[in-house]
């Protein structure tokens, strides 16, 4: 169980942690910067597709699979549960609503990746037009990944309820 928690809850510390608090946020930020080039060129290079697959990996294995296994074992995000002394392990008042927000942002991440697949493959929308939306969707995905980490650590506006 500790290995699952370590993989799922790994965080960066230091100056870069404010921009990318988790490896998942870092991967989505790189994908966002990378998505600017196909949007400008109007064509997707195979390296961007590989980057998209790496993002899927970081979404599904370290985030989704371990998160589901932890949830099935009754665990919730650290910001939603009290540790010793009635505070979270980060020293804040627990906020149970953060657990549902964490799941909501995870769902947004999966939906964003699905939309990226549609845009890259040119399904449902003309390919060159769809590629113009890549930076918008990847920026949204980065914001979602950032919020996934933030929600797990910091309390919201309803602590203790």
Given this model, what pLDDT does residue 15 score? 72
pLDDT at position 160? 59
CB atoms within 10 A of CB 97: 17
Helices (H) and strands (E) in the chain, counts: 7, 0
User: Per-residue confidence of the chain (161 residues) as pLDDT tens digits?
Assistant: 778 888 888 888 777 777 888 899 999 999 999 999 999 999 999 999 999 999 999 999 888 888 889 888 988 888 888 887 888 888 888 888 888 999 999 999 999 999 999 999 988 889 889 999 999 999 999 999 999 988 988 887 776 55
Write out the two tokens for 137.
């969707």
pTM of the model: 0.90
Inter-CA distances, 131 with 15, 65, 93, 119, Å: 33, 29, 43, 6
Burial (Cβ within 10 Å: 0-12, 13-18, ≥19) of residue 50? exposed
Q: Where are the alpha helices (DSSP H) in the chain?
A: 2-8, 23-41, 46-59, 66-72, 97-121, 127-131, 134-153
Stretch (H or E) spanning 147:
helix 134-153
pLDDT at 118: 94
**Model pLDDT, residue 64:** 80
**Residue showing tokens 């100056």:** 15
Q: Any idea what DSSP says for residue 90?
A: T
Give the per-residue pLDDT at 5: 81
Give the integer Cα–Cα distance in Å for 10 and 8: 6
């Amino acid at each position: 169980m500790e290995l699952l928690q370590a993989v799922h809850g790994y965080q960066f510390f230091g100056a870069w942690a404010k921009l990318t608090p988790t490896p998942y946020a870092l991967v989505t930020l790189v994908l966002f910067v990378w998505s600017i080039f196909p949007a400008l060129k109007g064509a997707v290079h195979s390296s961007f597709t590989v980057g998209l697959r790496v993002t899927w990996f970081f979404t599904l294995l370290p985030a989704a699979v371990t998160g589901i296994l932890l949830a099935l074992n009754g665990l919730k995000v650290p910001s939603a549960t009290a540790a010793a002394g009635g505070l979270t392990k980060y020293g804040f008042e627990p906020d149970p609503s953060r657990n549902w927000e964490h799941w909501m942002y995870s769902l947004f991440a999966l939906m964003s990746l699905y939309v990226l697949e549609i845009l890259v493959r040119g399904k449902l929308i003309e390919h060159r037009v769809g590629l113009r939306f890549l930076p918008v969707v990847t920026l949204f995905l980065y914001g979602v990944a950032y919020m996934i980490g933030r929600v797990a650590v910091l309390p919201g506006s309803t602590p203790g309820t």
